[in-house]
Amino acid sequence: MKIKMILPALTEAKSPFWRPIKYSLFPPLGLATLAAYCSPGDDIRLQDEHVEELDLDDEPDLVVIQVYITNAFRAYGLADHYKQKGAYVCLGGLHVSSLPEEAMLHADSIFIGPGEDTFPKFLQDFHNGCAQKIYRNSRRDIEDIPPIRRDLIKRSRYLVPNSIVVSRGCPHHCDFCYKDAFFEGGRSFYTQKVDAALAEIDRLPGRHLYFLDDHLLGHQRFATGLFEGMKGMDRVFQGASTIDAILRGDLIEKAAEAGMRSVFVGFETLSKGNLVQSNKRQNIGHDYEQAIRRLHSLGIMINGSFVFGLDEDDSDVFQRTVDWAVKNSLTTCTFHILTPYPGTRLYRDMEAQGRILHSNWDQYDTRQVVYRTVGLSADELKRGYDWAYRSFYSWKNILKASLGHDTFKHQLKHFAYAGGWKKFEPMWNFLIKSEGLNKMLPLLESILSKVNNKPGRGPQNGTKDIGLSPFPAIA
C-alpha cells in the first residue's frame, strides 16, 4: 500500500524570498511515530513542507495529514486535493482534536487525541474495509511504542536533526495552553520507560539532542532515571522545564550532569495577577531569579518565554519585560501575543465575553491580535510586541546580557548563541536554500559545550536582584 504522510507548512515558511530558521530547526516526530505502526511492506513517503516542496502529482492509497491551527487551511486544501484523486484521507493533530466538526468536512477519517492506540486500530479497520469516520483516543500509554521511523526523515534539511520525545503532554493546565483539548478525557502527562528512551537516544548519531517534550523534568522518577542513564554518553541537549521543577530538589543538577546546556522556561509574565488569571500555578510563589541563578551556575543557557496582552498588562509591560530579561542575562527570548486557541479555557471564556474577533486560523500565530484587548489597544499590543523583539536582540542588549555572566566562557557563549540566532538571519536563509544547514551542527555543539561556573553564582556576580506527541503542536 502506498501511504503519503504530510506536515503542511505556513505560507511564510515557503516564501521564495525569506525562510525563517525556526521552520528548519528540527524534524517534528508525530508522523514518523505513527509510521512505525504500518506494515513492513507499505511504501511510505513522509514530507515536511517546511523544508521541501510537496509532490502533489503522486497517487497514494492513503494520505495522513497532521493539522495544527496555523496550517489548518493549507491542510484542508491538501486533503481535498487528495480526496478528489481518490485517496483515502485522514486528519489528526491538535486542531482536529479542538474542532473535529470542522476537520470532518475534509477527511474520510479523523483522529481525536494522541494516535498510539487509534492509528493501529484504523489501519486494521482500513485493511478490513470497515474504517470508521472518527477514532477517539482511549488509552494513554507509550511504554511499549515501536521505534520511530527515522529513516523517513530527511535529516540533512534540519539544523538539529536529533529531535526526540520521551513523554506526552504536561502535568500543568494553563488556561491558554493548546494541549488540554488534545489530552481531554484521560491522563494528560505520561512517559516512556527509561530503558526505551535510552535505547532511542542510542540510535541517534552525533552528540546533540533536542528534546521536544513539553516538560522534560515533569516526572521526577522518570527524569532522574533518564539523566542517570545518559551520564557518560557524551551528549549535549536542549529541553524544556518549569520554574518549580528547576527549584525542586536536585533534578536540574542531574540534567546538567547528563548534558543539558539550554532550557526553555515559560516565565510568561512578571505579574502575579496575570499568572493567577492564566492558571499558571507552577510559577506562582516561586522566585524567577533564584531559578535563573541556579541554571547559570550550572552553565545552562535560558530561552525565556513571555506572553503579552494578558488583562493586567499596560503600555510599560514591554519595556519592563525586556529590561528584566536583559538584566538577568537570558540568552534568548521568545515573545508571544496572547492567542486564544480553540479548545482552551481561554478561548471559551473570551468567546462567552464576545472577545473573539474572527476564525481566520492563519492569523492565530501568536504574532497578531485576534481578540478584543483589555488595558492595551490592539495597535499598542502589536507595536509593543514587535519592539520587544527588536530591543532584546539589539547588539547593545545582547552584549549587556552577555556581560552579566561570571565567566568569560559563559559570556562568549551567550554572545555567540544570541547573536548567531537573531543577527545573522540572511546567512541562515542562504544555508536553508542551499541545503547546507546541517553543516552548522558542529558549531552549535561547540557553543553548547560545558561551562563550569562557581556553585550558586549567576548574573550580577551572584547577588540577588529584587524584583517558563504524535501530532505535536507547531504554533
Q: Output the pLDDT for position 17.
A: 56
Q: Is the pLDDT of residue 177 over 80?
A: yes
- 148, part of any domain: no
Contact 203, 147 (CB under 8 A): yes
CB 278 within 8 Å of CB 268 = yes
pLDDT digits (tens, 9 = 90+) for 25-60: 899 999 999 999 999 999 999 999 999 999 999 999
* Same domain for 390 and 343: yes
Instruction: Categorize the per-residue pLDDT at 295 as very low, low, confident or very high, splitting at 50, 70 and 90.
Output: very high
For residues 176-194, average pLDDT: 88
Cα separation of 142 and 83, whole Å? 32
* 131 and 225 belong to one structural domain: no
| pLDDT recorded at residue 15 | 64
CA distances for 221 relative to 145, 193, 213, 448, angstroms? 20, 11, 16, 26
Q: Which helix (H) or strand (E) holds 195?
A: helix 194-202
pLDDT attached to residue 472: 35
Residue with C-alpha cell 506572553?
Answer: 307
What phi and psi values does residue 62 have, to the nearest 5 degrees?
Answer: -135, 135
Judge whether 296 lies within some domain.
yes
Q: Quick one: which of 61, 52, 5 has its CA closest to 29?
A: 5
Mean pLDDT score, 84-103: 97
3 state SS of 360:
coil
Domain CATH code at residue 56: 3.40.50.280
Helix axes 408-422, 395-402, angle to 10 degrees: 150
More confident residue, 102 or 409: 102
Q: Which of 347, 344, 348, 349 has its CA nearest to residue 370?
A: 347
Cα three-residue angle 306-307-313, rounded to 5 degrees: 115
Model confidence, pTM: 0.90
Residue 474 has pLDDT above 80, yes or no: no
> In the structure, what pLDDT confidence band is assigned to residue 457 with cuts at 50, 70 and 90?
very low
pLDDT at position 456: 41
Q: How confident is the model at residue 475 (pLDDT cuts 50, 70, 90)?
A: very low
The reply to whether 67 and 182 lie within a common domain is no
- Residue 265 in any domain: the answer is yes
Q: What is the pLDDT of residues 153-165, one digit of tens each?
A: 999 889 889 999 9
- Report yes or no: 431 and 437 within 8 Å, Cβ to Cβ: yes
Lowest mean pLDDT among 66-75, 149-158, 440-449: 440-449
Q: Which residue has the higher pLDDT, 447 or 159?
A: 159
Higher pLDDT, 157 or 400: 400
Q: Is residue 300 part of a domain?
A: yes
What is the number of structural domains in the chain? 2
Residue with the bigger pLDDT between 438 and 81: it is 81
**Is residue 264, in this structure, part of any structural domain at all?**
yes
The cell numbers describing 57, all together, are 502529482
308-358 pLDDT, tens digit per residue, is 999 999 999 999 999 999 999 999 999 999 999 999 999 999 999 999 999
Whether residues 109 and 200 share a domain: the answer is no
Looking at residue 20, its pLDDT comes to 67
Per-residue pLDDT of 219-229, as tens digits, reads 999 999 999 99
pLDDT of residue 25: 87
Q: Residue 405: give the domain boundaries.
A: 159-462
Q: Does the pLDDT value for residue 147 go beyond 70?
A: yes
Same-domain pairing of 298 and 222: yes
Q: How confident is the model at residue 462 (pLDDT cuts 50, 70, 90)?
A: very low
Tell me, yes or no, whether 128 lies in a domain: yes
Measured distance CA(365)–CA(385) in Å, rounded: 13
Q: Are residues 209 and 113 in the same domain?
A: no
How, if at all, do strands 62-66 and 208-211 pair? unpaired
Mean pLDDT of 90-111: 97
Residues 11 and 106 in one domain: yes
**Reading across the β-sheet that carries 208-211, which strands appear in turn?**
163-164, 208-211, 236-241, 260-268, 301-308, 332-337
Beta strands in 178-292, from DSSP E residues, in sequence order: 189-191, 208-211, 236-241, 260-268
In a domain, residue 429? The reply is yes
Arithmetic mean of pLDDT over the chain: 89
Indicate whether 218 and 125 sit together in one domain.
no
Residue 286 — pLDDT band, cuts 50, 70, 90? confident
CATH of residue 168's domain is 3.20.20.70
Whether 142 maps to a domain, the answer reads no
Do 281 and 335 have their domain in common?
yes
| 236 and 123 part of one domain | no
Clarify whether residues 206 and 242 are in a common domain: yes
pLDDT of residue 465: 28
Is 340 within 8 Å of 370 (Cβ atoms)?
A: yes
User: Do residue 51 and residue 97 come from a single domain?
Assistant: yes
